[in-house]
Structure 1
Amino acid sequence: MKIVTFGEVILRLSPHGSLKMTQANSLEFYFGGTEMNVAASLAAFGEKTQHITNVSNDLVGDAALAAMRKLNIDVSAINKVDHPMGLYFLEVGAGLRASKIAYNRLHGAFAHIEPNQVDWENILKGADFFHWTGITPAISENAYISLKNGLKVAQKLGVTVTSDPAYRSNLWKYGKDGHEILLELVGLSTIFIGGVNEINEILKTEFDFSKEGFVEASKKLMEECPSIKKVFDKVRTGLSASWQRVYGRVWTGTTYLETSELEITDVIDRIGTGDAYAAGLIYGLKRYDDKNALEFANAACALKHTVLGDANLVSVDEVLEIMQGNTGGRIKR
């Protein structure tokens, strides 16, 4: 069975290393996008994945398709359209200096997706998971409608829907209330990947970030959205741009569980770490109990900090090693 993801593929442009834009004379590029990153990571774990999106009908769109094929993502239902690829500029921080991002995506190929372009009945036939994030419905009204159509079909077919409904206020530009739309779409989902901050944004509540606050927020979300069965959260502590700590926690509807904290002292790339967590969680939920699925997700997230580019390209064995406590980085010969 396959895992379907839906969202924008975006071109990332960045100076080499940790140079500032004002220092750089050239830019490196990568293709990414939060949902595509999830598909790429799952494909690296050996899962069958299919990504649904629009790309530009030009050499850049062709390069995006080639990049996804190289990552073993099924691109057979992707549309090519006469609009440019969305892109963003990333200035990578280091130490005390934070990374900075500037987006150019609201008029790109994905923003012009047409709901009738996506044949959800055929795409979701034979799928066991469908993953979406809050970035997709924020980009355009057509993207929102297309996603909503897909979620309704997934619900009808019994497909497990994982939602990462991150609210990005700077993206909601087409006159709709993002909080209301995200609440509606979460109500068509099964697994919620987010914490107190995301729940407070959607429900307009004020739960705190303690264990008790997370549990009460999760209970309130499940009360408002009965289709949600479990709430998984990734908790990050940033000591600097180069030094991070992460752990995972979950409310299963009856039980609170959490992982131990993993420390990353030399961050290579923070982009896509949340997507790596989501991919690890989906992989884990297909195979393990909730505790081990959570451990797998947290280990995958930690490892992504060491991989350059948007997508997490580590293997299942590498994640399992971290789960087993092998964090010394010893050379494999």
Structure 2
Amino acid sequence: MVGPVVCFGEMLLRLSPQGAIPLQQAGGVAIDVGGAEANVAAALASLGVPTRMLTVVPDNPLGRKAKAALGAAGSDTRFIASVPAGVGGGRIGLYWFEPPAGPIAGRVTYDRAGSSFALADPADLPFAQALEGASLLHMSGITPALGPAGVELARAAVAAAKDAGVPICFDGNYRANLWDAWDSDPRAILTELVGAATLMIGNHRDISLLLGKTFSGDGADRRREASEAAFEAFPNLQLIASTARHVEAACTHRLAGRIDLRASHWQTDEVRIENIVDRIGTGDAYAAGVIYSWLGGGDAKQMAKTGLALAALKHGVPGDMILATEEELHDFNPSGGDVRR
């Protein structure tokens, strides 16, 4: 059995207006637990991969709700630190999500400043204990985007993984709204962090940001050109996982998965996804599917297909997280189907 995957990052509560109602007119909201790294932890745990969540939440009902959601998914919550809520201790980060409706695009409004995670001191987090016996550390570019304290948290996680000899999976998850909120240098910071990673979740646009260059190819050729440039720039990097999405309408997308290795690559055919219930968290589902296959020794084709299957399934699940069994993942049918009885 593989060692646990440690997922490090901020947990959030997502608030969504009930029905296709603009936020400013909403009278009620649905509350879901999420956060990029927590989504990966929950998805992997549901597939039978042991996971540990490493984060900080306030010691109040909202923090306990977040912790309970991961516990219910099967993830180890012993390394979720709880701190007193309020002044000096912070609060849980929130984001408001208005789903797309007809010609109106979806929209995210963040309310996460001063969260318990963003205020955390790296010295107070049990990195060494959480990483003991781990097979992978999964983290993302959201943590350093939170501000200078977030950068130090991300650096501490990378240093602890290096000390423990644990490989790192880094999901770019570029959030312009967060980086633009402070005097940041995302290129320099993300380049430093990606340089320590073995696996990267990101596409040619993420690589363009890191390397400060554009790529002249088109489609799959451009993605391979970008990946080869990243492999040259980052000697530790062994795998780059990405998706290609084409939006036909708010509720109809086409999605393909891609894996680039140093010596090979594979891109799936597109899957057409109709009647989308919820797009949020689909990238995290793809990352979880790739990690699941990578831990099992899958090749580029298997990793791309598994990641795509889990991402496609997530489009039909409300909320940030997907909890899918191995059977459901292996039985994935891109064309859907009738009720199974």
TM range (shorter): over 0.9
Distance 1:97 1:176 in 2: 31
Distance 2:220 2:64 in 1: 47
Name the TM-score, length of structure 2 as normaliser: 0.93
- Within the candidate set 168, 180, 202, 1:194 is matched to 202
Secondary structure of the corresponding residue to residue 331 of structure 2 = helix
> Is 1:316 equivalent to 2:326 in the alignment?
yes
> Is 1:307 equivalent to 2:304 in the alignment?
no
Does the 8 Å contact 1:90/1:99 carry over to 2?
yes
Q: In structure 2, what is the equivalent of residue 35 of structure 1?
A: 37
The residue identity in structure 2 corresponding to 1:44 is S
Distance 1:17 1:270 in 2: 16
Distance 1:73 1:260 in 2: 32
The residue identity in structure 2 corresponding to 1:78 is I
Structure 1: stretches of 5+ with no match in the other structure: none
Distance 1:65 1:155 in 2: 27
Does the 8 Å contact 2:17/2:98 carry over to 1?
yes
Counting only pairs closer than 5 Å after superposition, residues 1-333 of structure 1 correspond to structure 2 as 1-81=3-83, 82-172=89-179, 173-208=181-216, 209-287=218-296, 288-322=298-332, 325=333, 327-333=335-341
Structure 2: stretches of 5+ with no match in the other structure: 84-88
Distance 2:231 2:214 in 1: 16
Does the 8 Å contact 2:147/2:184 carry over to 1?
no
Task: Using the TM superposition, give the Cα deviation of residue 326 of structure 1 relative to its aligned residue in structure 2, in angstroms.
Answer: 6.0
Q: Deviations over 1:201-222 (max 9, x none)?
A: 1111111552221111111111
The residue identity in structure 1 corresponding to 2:339 is I
Task: Using the TM superposition, give the Cα deviation of residue 153 of structure 1 relative to its aligned residue in structure 2, in angstroms.
Answer: 2.6
Q: In structure 1, what is the equivalent of residue 86 of structure 2?
A: none
Q: Deviations over 1:239-291 (max 9, x none)?
A: 11100111011221111211111111110000000000000000011112221
Distance 2:302 2:55 in 1: 32
Q: Deviations over 1:145-175 (max 9, x none)?
A: 2222221232343322111112222212443
Does the 8 Å contact 1:232/1:251 carry over to 2?
yes
Does the 8 Å contact 2:256/2:268 carry over to 1?
yes
Distance 1:280 1:220 in 2: 25
Distance 2:56 2:270 in 1: 38
Does the 8 Å contact 1:95/1:243 carry over to 2?
no
Distance 1:156 1:85 in 2: 30
Aligned residue pairs, count: 331
The residue identity in structure 2 corresponding to 1:225 is F
Does the 8 Å contact 2:259/2:303 carry over to 1?
no
What is the percentage of aligned positions where both structures have the same residue? 35
Task: Using the TM superposition, give the Cα deviation of residue 63 of structure 1 relative to its aligned residue in structure 2, in angstroms.
Answer: 1.5
Does the 8 Å contact 1:193/1:231 carry over to 2?
yes
Does the 8 Å contact 1:118/1:146 carry over to 2?
no
Once superposed, what is the RMSD of the aligned Cα atoms?
1.5
Name the TM-score, length of structure 1 as normaliser: 0.95
